[in-house]
Each structure stands twice: as structure tokens, then as C-alpha cells.
Amino acid sequence: MVWMAFGLLLVVWPRDAFAYCRVTTCDIKKGHDCAVNENGCVRDGAALRWPSLPIVYRFHGQDSAKLSDGREARLAIRAAFQRWADVQCDDNGSRTSLRFEEREDTPYDKPLEVNAHAREGFAIFFRDESWPYEGGGNTLAITNHDYGVKSGLINYADIEINTSAGPFAITDAEQGIDLQAVLVHEVGHYIGLAHNNNPESIMVATHCQAADRCQNGKTQMRQLGPDDKLAVCTIYPPEGATIIPTTEPTSDCNAAPAKRGSDAALGGLVLAIAVIIARRRFVQR
């Protein structure tokens, strides 16, 4: 697995530099020669796409013993998916065409090791005992994809939550890392979004980069920013998304492997301290 870690920096960007980024088949960390625009978005390769809607997900049948209530945890995660599907794209209240479908729980676990795949994909796994990925106990969640090298079509995805690093909070009254806020970020990766440099975005690498996001309660922490809504309305517009690309990308990255790509996007939440403010930092693979 290849990880991309972003440092905890206090940076101010001009508003016109803000823009959403998509995960593409061009991976700088794998040695590909990828063009990057002024917003830090990779512009070579094919943007990752799902082959059909609704996008499916499922839970592993074993809930986390580290969370206070398995039922409430599932409700929080479902709410994270629904937050993206509820985006309104115009003044008439037209919703994005993005939809999710929860499938029956999978009984199959995923090997807890780098580059592993579950027997049944599109699943969400709680990791209560250990965490073998970069960042160790500081990394709170990752999202993984397999995809077509040229088309970018996603054929496998999963989300792993590092419940061994807790404590996670699953209700508004509990103290701890807000599970729903973490999953809203991960679902952004799940649908194909990469990190961006807008501190108001849920997809920013530093979770609490905008001070009011974490100072005004958990409800604010879970909100999508304007760039996040623009992303989902552009990729999944109300009139329907063009899911399967009709042509191969005109710009492809050098040194692309002649096989499917793996682990295209990873979002992880890392606990860090900057000055006297406790902040959370995402890493992306």
C-alpha cells in the first residue's frame, strides 16, 4: 500500500484557490509522472468512477466491542453516507443523483495486513485489536479502492475504522472522536474524491482546519462545505450521472502498471497537536 501523508500546517489560501479534487489513476507515490494544478489536484489519468448507481456498501457482521452501542454506530455511519446523497444542487431543491444501497452484512473478515482484500468487497470493518497501516494508532480510518488502470472504473472498495485507537463517540452526548464526522470524510473518498486545500471542506487533510468546524459542536463537524457539494453535484448531477466513460482518457500518466490499480484512495484521521489546539489530520493514499 502506498500512503500520502500531509503535515499539520497553518496555511492561509485565497478563496479562489479552493476546489474539489478527484482521485485518478495517476499516482505520484507510485512513481507516475502526474500533472498537478494550482489546487494540488492531479490532472492526469482517469478519474475514478463507479460502474453503476446506487453505490453499494455493507457492514462486516461483527460490530465493534469498543463502541458503546453497535446499533447507534451503524446509524451514525448510515447518516454519513446519506449526508452526501441529500445534497441539493439548485435553488429548486433538486437532489444529486448519488444514491447508496446497504446490502446484507458480510460474514467474511478482511485480513488485517497491507494490500489485503476481503473475500466480499464494499464492506466496512471495525479494527478493535490492532492497526498495521502507516501512522499506527494515530490513524483512525482508511478507504481502499481497486480500479481499471485506464478507465478508472472501481471494482472493489472497503473502509476500515481503527476502533483500537479510540475513544470514538457515536452520539452527540458522548465524548471522543466523532464517528460520523470521520465517516463523512471517508465516504467522500469512497465516491472518488481526494483531499483538497479548502479548510471549509470535509475533504481537507486537516479535519479541524477551519476553527468553527470543531468549535461549534458535532453537527458542524459533519457538514459538507460548498466545494464538497459542488463536487457531488458535478459528478452526480440531479438529471443523472454518466457513470461509465465512453472513451479512454486523453491524458494518461507515465509508468502506469499494466494491471488493475489497487488502493487508489486512502483517507486516514491522525490525532495531532498544533500550538494549544488539538487537531486531527487526514492522510491519503
pLDDT at 24: 93
Which residues of the chain, if any, have pLDDT below 50? Answer: 1-17, 245-267, 269-283
- Give the whole-angstrom CA distance, residue 244 versus residue 152: 9
pLDDT at 160: 96
Whether the model clears a pTM of 0.75, i.e. scores above it, the answer is yes
CB 197 within 8 A of CB 24: no
pLDDT at 198: 84
In terms of residue numbers, what domain contains 216? Answer: 4-284
Tell me which residue has cell 452527540.
172
- CATH code at 144? 3.40.390.10
Residue type, 163: T
Tell me which residue has cell 458522548.
174
Nearest to 21 by CA among 227, 210, 267, 200: 227
pLDDT at 258: 30
**CB under 8 Å to 170, separation ≥6 — which residues?**
67, 68, 69, 72, 73, 76, 179, 180
Total domains in the fold of the chain: 1
**Cα 5 → chain centroid:** 14
